[in-house]
Amino acid sequence: MDRANKPKTLPKLSSTPGLPPQPTVNFTDDNSRLRAELPTGESVEVLLYGATVISWKDATGDEKLWLSEAAKLDGSRAVFGTAPDHPQTKDLPQHGFARTSRWEFLGKSTSESMVGRAADEPTVKLDFGLSSAAPGLDPKAAAHWPFKFNLIYSVTLNRESLTTSIVATNDDGATPFDCQVLMHTYLRVKKSPASPTRPTPTKSARRPLPPKPNPPPPSTLTITGETDRVYTPTEDAVTVAENSQPRFRVTRDNLANVVVWNPWAAKAEAMADFAPDDGFRNMLCVEPGAVGGWQAVEAGDAFEGAQTITLLH
């Protein structure tokens, strides 16, 4: 699926005189990543290895995501760090092969070609693909995942939000397969870890799954130590506060769970790919996903899920 001679800069979809400026998409010289920028200055950067969003900036250049200074961006390791008891996935890489494979960039859409609200504001949508036939597929996945599949991952940027969505299609004829999905989003916060607030969940759990049952947490969770939990909220939106001020709203679509993770001091220091050691004070993972169990995808069917992170001022 990977094209050998991709252009470094994708042309605008239209050059008709009188049209407002359109978003641009540029590849790096080594074709390892691409950067999309709205005409108003907001930008997003995606590493093709894992189709990993590694930067999201507002019009002033203020970064909204946290990225470890020790993260490997050369494809040697997943940027963000198995299920040994699950027969279909027990031999796959940690966190799954979608994060350890090189995805193909399928193209862009802009507000000029969209309908509805997206057409009324600067918007760019980037589509990435990975399939069982893709040359970028992790070799370990190809050896231990016998099912035919097709994944489409989309990243949509507008002035106030970032949306990521995935469609996982089972192309394997008559054989169903199981999957899990987690949007690994490391939000950048200032001074100290934030406090995600949300409606009282119906269920909470520690990872790894299956968990021991825990009582539902309060509607406000304050991070004061190592935190690694799976929640099942009753409503779709979670608010992430920074120093008691709302900063992000994370909205889920067809993703039942939210993982909240912060390694805190001891674990951060012990992790080789987490830097600086005190970086835990400036980041918080609030990750929508479908990880409370396995999602069965029947032959010819698909699983879809999405998240939207909205800036709050």
Residues known to be catalytic: 184, 287
Neighbour tally for 214: CB within 10 Å: 14
**CA count, 13 A, side-chain hemisphere, 54:** 24
CA distance linking residue 5 with residue 184, whole number of Å: 30
For 166-190, give one letter per residue: b (16+ CB within 10 A) or e: bebbbebeeeebbbbbbbbbbbbbe
Is 280 in a helix, a strand, or coil? helix
**What contacts 157, CB < 8 A, 6 or more positions away?**
23, 36, 38, 42, 43, 44, 56, 123, 124, 125, 126, 163
Nearest to 65 by CA among 38, 82, 40, 46: 46
Residue 282 φ/ψ, nearest 5 degrees: -120, 15
Is 276 in a helix, a strand, or coil? coil
For 16-25, give one letter per residue: b (16+ CB within 10 A) or e: eeeeeebbbb
Is 11 in a helix, a strand, or coil? coil
Is 209 in a helix, a strand, or coil? coil
Contact 230, 216 (CB under 8 A): no
CA distance linking residue 223 with residue 203, whole number of Å: 19
